Chains A and B, each alone.
Chain A
Amino acid sequence: MATGSARGLRGDTWLGRWLVLPYVVVVLSFVVAPLVLLVVNAWGDTGIDGFADYFDQAATTRVLIVTIVAAAAVTVLSMLIGGFLGWLLRTTTSTSLRLLILCSLTLPFWLGSVLKMYSIQVLLEHNGLINRALMAMGLTSEPKEMLYTQGAVVVGMVYQMIPFAAIPSYTAFLAVDLDLVRASETLGASRLRAFTSVVMPLALPGLMAAAAIVYVISLGFFVTPLVLGGVTSPFAASLIWSSVFDYSDLQGAAIASVVLLLVGYLVLLLAYLGVGRRRLYAVLDQ
């Protein structure tokens, strides 16, 4: 009787379903439609030849390769640094160290996306802090040109992505029982050994999910390449920007965007097949 009425009430969902309608409208018009239209634009009158031409040009292929490789480097570096911070956060018993790490992950974020990059620019400038420090220490006799290089862009992106790597890593490490580390150390393993053969296998799915998300976000950076790499830097963002606003080459920009989306989609697909949807959502949900 009780279950019967419960089922009756819950079965009455024909109205509830319609609550999804505004969402469907927004998603169709602002996610699906633009992506479809982008592909249509990239395809244009030239079809696949447009893409073939695109890959034939040394300049555009170079931009793609730089973007894809730089995003990979950013992922590795920020997972290493962020993962290390996440592990410290997980294992330390010191409140002040914990607080310091948490501050270092949150305060830069509060600066805002553009100013965070500007402050890196202040550090890397010709007459910037790093150059002055290097010269004061006698490590270099004249300032090194660091700004407007690919290295500068990678530094900026890593700076931006460390929190995105650290917090999910911390969550992944939370799932690991620290007694396991102690147990393996009692059995004679070094801390490093305990980490690589006990902790890593347990935390790996979470870390992979975090790395996939970091990679895809890094592909699409716009502010960082422009501020730290300059308008002519060989990154997809600068290429798309100048194609649209300097050369009015909408199709070229669309092709570059489609290629970026495909690479991003591929990485997410691999992560999805490897670790599942739930883990990917868990990374975003922090």
Chain B
Amino acid sequence: MSVRTEIAYRARIAARTLRIGAGVSIALLMLLPVAIVVVLSFSADPYLVFPPAEWGLRQYEAFLGSDEWLSAVGVSVTVALLSTVLSTVIGTLAAYAIARTDLPLKSALTSLGVAPLVLPGVAYAMALYVLYLRLDVVGSFTGVVLAYTALTLPFPMLIVTGALTRLPADLEVVSMSLGASRIRAMVGITLRLLAPAIGASMVFGFIYSFDEATLINFLGSGQIITLPKAIFDSVLTGIDPLIMAIAVILMCLTGLVMTVGVRLRQLDQGNTP
């Protein structure tokens, strides 16, 4: 008996070791490309070889001195900011109407708004391209911003709607019965309690549109060069080593912003009374 338990115990330990070993190897393999980029970013070679023959901050200096790349960053930030603000405002209003009123066709409306996140990307890009061709707005800045607005609408539709369903609707009624006006109740109570959810959906929307590289290839027509578009072109036509520095800087910034987003998300979910 004790021998059998001993064997079973050993087998269990072996299985555990195997499991953890496999998990660690997979995780390390997944981090390998990240490590490659970080290492390459500190290369001082004129073109990319791994491992670098010479080390230095050359790529970082090149990036910070390049008007072309900095302007791509500028375009990306502007497009992402404008579209995220638009989609958050539009989406939050809609989420409110859907969660709090007797609107017809609620679930169809929500599904359509969430669709851009799950439609096969290249097919959706093609669909928008056909529309933009007909309207003759391919390559227009407004066109790109509006497309990204639709693309990021799913975030408020999922996150803010979730938060709204967790907030008791009676809170507004109570505050109005205590003398607050309708607007005061909406802004002072609901909107304030929704703030973390709204913030989180803005963060995720911003990151999503900042990183978007499919729609822009169809709708930008080579005239609107966002950062992912510039990187994409560079990767296809012969890579500019300074991209590695951009990647590392972006990785740190995205990580920072993302942490804020996740924190807001936790705040939001902790709001549940």
Contacts and interface: CB of A to CB of B under 8 A. Distances in A.
B102 to A, nearest CB: 6
A16 B149 contact: no
Given A115-B247, A240-B122, A110 B255 contact: yes
Contact of A257 (B37, B123, B131): B123
A84 B50 contact: no
Contact of B118 (A112, A217, A260): A217
Interface stretch (A2-10, A49-57, A199-207): A2-10
B118 to A, nearest CB: 5
A34 B130 contact: yes
Given A30-B147, A118-B235, A110 B26 contact: no
B231 A112 contact: yes
Interface string B68-108: 00000000000000000001011101101110111100010
A92 interface: yes
A143 interface: no
A31 B169 contact: no
Contacts of B50: 122, 128-129
B126 interface: yes
Contacts of B131: 33-34, 37
Nearest to B246: A115
Chain B interface mostly: helix
A114 B162 contact: no
Contact of A23 (B26, B124, B126, B153): B153
Interface string A18-41: 111011101100111111011001
Contacts of A24: 94, 109
A184 B90 CA distance: 50
Interface in B104-157: 107, 109, 111-131, 133-134, 146-147, 149-150, 153-154
Given A19-B93, A119-B36, 10 more contacts: A107-B31, A110-B251, A114-B231, A121-B235, A129-B36, A221-B122, A240-B122, A260-B123, A261-B127, A284-B118
A85 B37 contact: no
Interface residues on B, range: 35 or more
Nearest to A39: B127
Contacts of B20: 88, 92, 94, 97
19 contacts: A6-B173, A6-B177, A22-B94, A38-B130, A88-B19, A97-B23, A112-B251, A116-B33, A117-B235, A119-B33, A119-B37, A122-B40, A191-B15, A220-B214, A222-B213, A231-B236, A254-B130, A261-B123, A285-B158
Contact of A31 (B113, B173, B246): B113
Interface in B176-204: 176-177, 182
Contacts of A106: 255, 258
A20 B97 contact: yes
A103 B29 CA distance: 12
Nearest to A285: B158
A244 interface: yes
B59 interface: no
Contact of A191 (B12, B30, B158, B218): B12
Contacts of A240: 122-123, 126
A103 B169 CA distance: 38
